Amino acid sequence: MKTHHIIVADDHPMVVNGLIHILRDKAGLEISATASSTDELFAALESKPCDILVCDFSMPSGELSDGVLMFSRIRRQFPGLGIVTLTMVDQLPAIRALLDLGIHCIVSKRDAEEHLSRALLCAMQARKFFSPAMAEIVDKIELERRTAGKQELTTREAEVVRLFAAGMTVTEIAAKLKRSKKTISTQKMSAMRKMGVQRDSDLVMQFLGLMDARESST
């Protein structure tokens, strides 16, 4: 039987210890490293054997505290790595961003530990798995997408979102693009509607996730 090497990453020591306890006696699995920050995680990924990463959505300490940016970088640097995201996060934009990055094994920390074993098996086989709490969220996302249909951003909408994600205000974007503030605001709101977000922070997070996903696929 092939041994699959696993790295476990979470900023809560009790969670890491619990995962070690759950995984250590499972046949065919070997924990090659643990990490409590993004810096430790990338150091482990670069130096230790790893077939599957079991990782929290985000870890505050380290260079990349934003979960979407962290997973985007992991996808770029380690494209063949199996990933199981273990998280308490239940916001649709965050889970949508993970799906857009091609991460399809997601387990809620609210669900029973048995779902982790199934997620690991699916990650080994490059199949999808969502624990019950995550499956409900994914169903909502898929319903939104079916309802909205494929609504691509116009060139001008994408330009406004890109500048907004770069830190510019609506007023600054209007001045840069030589359009009225009302026009920029309307284009921004249209983009948010198409992307299924309501908050500025979610708009930025999803846009960055989409851009990183496109870069990693090229």
- Residues β-bridged to residue 86: 107
| Rounded average pLDDT over 72-90 | 93
Q: Is the pLDDT of residue 140 over 90?
A: no
Q: Which residues contact 84 (CB under 8 A, 6 or more apart)?
A: 52, 53, 54, 55, 105, 106, 107, 116, 119, 120, 123
Give 1's pLDDT tier (boundaries 50, 70, 90): low
Q: Which residues contact 125 (CB under 8 A, 6 or more apart)?
A: none
Residues 127, 123: Cα–Cα separation, whole Å: 6
**Tokens 């079991």 correspond to what residue?**
54
Give 60's pLDDT tier (boundaries 50, 70, 90): confident
Query: What are 186's two structure tokens?
Result: 């309307």
Backbone conformation region of residue 196, classed left if phi is above 0, alpha if psi is from -120 to 50, else beta: left
Q: What's the pLDDT at 28?
A: 87
Of 56 and 209, which is predicted with more confidence?
56
Q: What's the pLDDT at 40?
A: 94
Q: What's the pLDDT at 55?
A: 96
Residues 215, 14: Cα–Cα separation, whole Å: 35
User: Does the pTM exceed 0.85?
Assistant: no
What is the C-alpha end-to-end distance of the chain, expressed in Å? 34
